Structure 1
Amino acid sequence: MIKKVLQYIVLGLAVYAAIVMLVINFYKDDPQAMIWQDREAFNNRYINKLKPDQDISINDVLETLGSPDLTYVKKQPEKMLQIVYYRTQLVKPDGITTQDECTGLLFEDGKLILWGPAASVAYEKAL
């Protein structure tokens, strides 16, 4: 009797572990469906993992992080600069997302070139 109960417990734990592994490996986070605190943390984690030698396009970022909170574009004859802002830290709980609550990602012709405070400075200096 005890042996059969232990078999069911082990079987139940194995099924539970299999379901957890499937969810972890195959469930894609959807930033649009997250509450704002989780979305901020998700955005922050993603941006902090960026490395200068990565080849990341605007489409890669949009696919992972979803729609940006703020976006601006400057089109020049030889290139197009686009900066997108994702909220990463709450400053004032007023329901309005402002630039100081966000981290900027600067794209030149669709490729990520800078992020963080340097991205905003470079975008502002561009003609």
Structure 2
Amino acid sequence: MNYLKVLTVATAMMALSGCVVAIGGKDENSSSNNSSWKKAQKLNNQVISQLNLGTALDSVRGQLGTPDFSESFREGDNETVVLFYRTHHQHSDGETTKDECTPLVFKNAVLTGWGEKAYRQL
């Protein structure tokens, strides 16, 4: 009788060993991830609102971390870098897109402007 119980438990354990229960998702609509992108977005807005023109690129990266997107190009001796940080929700698709970000424009590693107007003037 004990042999039959052990065999039944062992069979059940082998059958269940491959089962995985997924709780929550990785899209921005899940509750845990939802709050993390909202917090990051809020923090980005707070930091950007306190920036000053002339701030060094390294200082801004130190405050805001890795940008969601970046672009850079060189014209003659001048280097332009644009960092994009998520600041406003547009799409509930689980992805951050440039239209949900604020561009920060740096010329020769110095902040010269931010926002759509600064970006369009490039």
TM-score (norm 2): 0.67
Aligned residues with identical type, % of pairs = 31
Secondary structure at the residue paired with 1:80?
A: strand
For residues 26-105 of structure 1, the aligned pairs below 5 Å read 35-52=36-53, 55-105=54-104
* Structure 1, unpaired ranges of 5+: 1-33
**Structure having the higher Rg:** 2
User: Residue 87 of structure 1 aligns to which amino acid in structure 2?
Assistant: R
2:120 matched residue in structure 1: 121
CA distance in 2, matches of 1:42, 1:118: 22
CA distance in 2, matches of 1:50, 1:66: 14
Q: Deviations over 1:20-74 (max 9, x none)?
A: xxxxxxxxxxxxxx8111000000011112234xx31111011111000010011
* Structure 2, unpaired ranges of 5+: 1-34
Q: CA RMSD in A?
A: 1.4
1:24 matched residue in structure 2: none
- Count of equivalent residues: 88
